[in-house]
Structure 1
C-alpha cells in the first residue's frame, strides 16, 4: 500500500508531462493524422516560459542534489548531530545563518534539508534553514541590490523579514511538532542507501549514484510545477493586478500569490519585483520576494515528496500568515 502511495504522482503526472513536452518542443504545429493542433501565440508563450523556468531551475537543482549526495556519502550522522547546537535558542539563529554560509536557492534546498534531517538534524532546525537559506544569502542580497539601486534598504527589509519569518516558524515547529513529518518512504530511504553504500567500492561513485537518484526523484515535481506556473502566468490577467495594487491588504495578497504562481528562482525574483514598483507598495514587493522563495508552486510539490501533507499544509499556512503580518505592520 505504501509503495503505491509513493509512486502515485509518477503514475498520474509522467504521461501528462510527456505529452505536453512533446507538444511544446515541436516547432509550430503538431499533426496526428486527422488531428491537427495549431500553436496559438499564448501556447508559444507557455512553451517559452516553461522552458525558461526549467532551464533556470535545473542548474540549482543539480547543485542541490550533488551537495545532498556529498552529505550522504561523506558526512556521518554523528557529525551532523554534533555540529547542530543542542540549545534551541542557539540552534534556530544558527540555522538562519546557514544560508549565508551555503547559498542555495529554493529549488536546491529541499533535497539538502531532507538529507540533513535524515542524518540527525532536528526538524525545526532544518525548517529554519529551508525557509531562510534561499533569501538570506550573499547572492540573493547582491541581486536585490542590483534590482533596486535607488532603494538599497530593500535588501535589509527583505533579509530581516525573511529571518523573522524563518525563526518564528522554526520556534512554532519546535513547540508544536509531535511526530516526525517525513514520509514513511523517506524515513526508510536512508537505511536502504546505507546498505548500498557498504557494497559500493568508491565514494565518488556513491556521490553520483545518490545525485542521480535524487535528481529524478525531485525532477518530476520541478517539471510539473514549471508547467503549471507557465500556464498560469500566460493566462492570468495583469489588468486585475493593477486594479488591486492600490489597496494595502489586497496588494500584499496579490504579490504573494504571484510569488507562489511564478515560481521564480530567488536569484532572479527581485528583478521581476522591480518591474511592479510603480503599481505596488514597497511592503507588497517585499512580501513577493520573501514568500515566493520560501513557498512557491514547484517548491510545494517538492516538499510534498518529502514531508507529510498535513505538515506541508500547516507550514504553508504559518509562513503565509507571518509574511503577511510582518510586511503589513513593520514600518518600511
Structure 2
C-alpha cells in the first residue's frame, strides 16, 4: 500500500513540476532557455497563462471551502435530513451540492460512507453527478468565464439538475440491490481504515491545521489536472488549424462527441473547466460547449477510476451509459430551444 502511495505521490509531483516549468517558461522565467520564438509559440504561452491565472483563484476557494466542510461537518448530521420521497430526495441531493461545494474527488468517498450508513443509492448518485456543477464556486466561475454569454450559466445549471433528476429516478425505480463493491464489514479495511485513523487524528488535533493540510493536499491534486488541461487546451487552440476545429465544432453531432471525449480525457475540475470551454467559444457551437461543461463534471477518467473503486463494475457501466446518453440528448434539446446559434 505504501509503495502505491509513493508512486502516486511521485506521479503528482512530476506532473506538477512539469506544469510549473511550462508556466515559468511561458512567463519568461527561464532566461537561459532560448527557444525559437514564433507567433504560434507566443500564442500558446498567452493562452496557457490566461487559462491558468483565471482558474487558480476558483480552485483555491473551492479547496478551502471543501476542506472546511470535510473537517467540521459530520456525515451523520447530513444523513438525518435525507427525505424518503424520491423527488424530495433528489431535491435534497441538489441542495447538498449548493451548500457543500465539493468536487467529485471529495464527494465520491463521502457518499460511499453515507450509503454504507443507510443513505439511498439514488440520492448519493444525484449528489455525485449534480454536486460538482451546482455549487456556488462553480456558479461564480462559470459566470466569470461566460460574461458575454450568461445564458450558458443558466443552461449548465438547469441541464445538470435535469440530467441528475432523470438518472436519479432511473436508479430509484430499477436499481434495488446493493451496488457497493465492498460490504459494510470490509468497507473500512486497508486504505479506508488508514483514512479513518487519519481523520480521527484530525479530530483530536488542531482542526484549523487539518483544514490547511487538507486544502494543500487537494490543491496539489487538482493543480496537476489544471496544468495538464491548460497545456493540452492551449496546444489545440494554437497548433490545430482553426478551419479543422471549426469544421468539427460546428457539426450538429460530432462536436458533442468530440467535447465529451475531450472532457473525459482532460479530467479537469469543475471549478476551472468553464475557462477551458470559454477558450473554444469561437470554434465550437454553444451546445457542444454545454456538453463539455456538464458531461466533464459528471464523468471523466479520474472519476471513473474512483467510481470503480467504490461501486460494482456493472453499475458504473450503467451509470456511464446513462450520463452519456442523457447529457447528449439534453444538450441538443437545450441548444435548439434556448442557446440558438
TM norm structure 2: 0.70
Is residue 42 from structure 1 mapped to residue 40 from structure 2 by the alignment? yes
Is residue 321 from structure 1 mapped to residue 320 from structure 2 by the alignment? no
Distance 1:115 1:236, change over 3 A: same
Partner of residue 214, structure 1? 218
Aligned positions of 1:159-238 closer than 5 A: 159-171=157-169, 175=175, 178-180=179-181, 187-200=192-205, 202-238=206-242
Is residue 120 from structure 1 mapped to residue 120 from structure 2 by the alignment? no
Partner of residue 14, structure 1? 13
Q: What SS class does the counterpart of residue 80 from structure 2 fall into?
A: helix
Q: Deviations over 1:54-89 (max 9, x none)?
A: 333332332232223222322223212213334544
Cα distance in 1, alignment partners of residues 277 and 328 from structure 2: 18
CA RMSD of aligned residues (A): 4.1
Distance 1:144 1:93, change over 3 A: farther
Q: Deviations over 1:297-329 (max 9, x none)?
A: xxx44x367443768776555423221122335
Cα distance in 2, alignment partners of residues 118 and 28 from structure 1: 44
Cα distance in 1, alignment partners of residues 86 and 149 from structure 2: 35
Cα distance in 2, alignment partners of residues 227 and 245 from structure 1: 20
Partner of residue 4, structure 1? 3
Partner of residue 109, structure 1? 103
Kept in 1, the 8 Å contact 2:54–2:275? The answer is: no
Cα distance in 2, alignment partners of residues 196 and 288 from structure 1: 39
Cα distance in 1, alignment partners of residues 289 and 194 from structure 2: 40
Q: What SS class does the counterpart of residue 103 from structure 2 fall into?
A: helix
Q: Deviations over 1:169-191 (max 9, x none)?
A: 44556627722489987633531
Q: What SS class does the counterpart of residue 180 from structure 2 fall into?
A: coil
Paired residues in the alignment total 313
Partner of residue 91, structure 2? 93
Q: What SS class does the counterpart of residue 25 from structure 1 fall into?
A: helix
More off after superposition, 236-245 vs 170-179: 170-179
Kept in 2, the 8 Å contact 1:165–1:319? The answer is: yes
Is residue 53 from structure 1 mapped to residue 57 from structure 2 by the alignment? no
Q: Deviations over 1:199-224 (max 9, x none)?
A: 41x33223223322333344334433
Alignment match of 1:249 (pick from 240, 253, 277): 253
Distance 1:247 1:238, change over 3 A: same
Distance 1:245 1:231, change over 3 A: closer
Is residue 69 from structure 1 mapped to residue 67 from structure 2 by the alignment? yes
Cα distance in 2, alignment partners of residues 23 and 61 from structure 1: 19
More off after superposition, 258-267 vs 224-233: 258-267
TM norm structure 1: 0.71
Q: Any stretches of 5+ residues in structure 1 without a counterpart?
A: none
Distance 1:243 1:95, change over 3 A: same
Q: Deviations over 1:89-127 (max 9, x none)?
A: 43223212444455x5xxx52344246326526464344
Distance 1:162 1:177, change over 3 A: farther
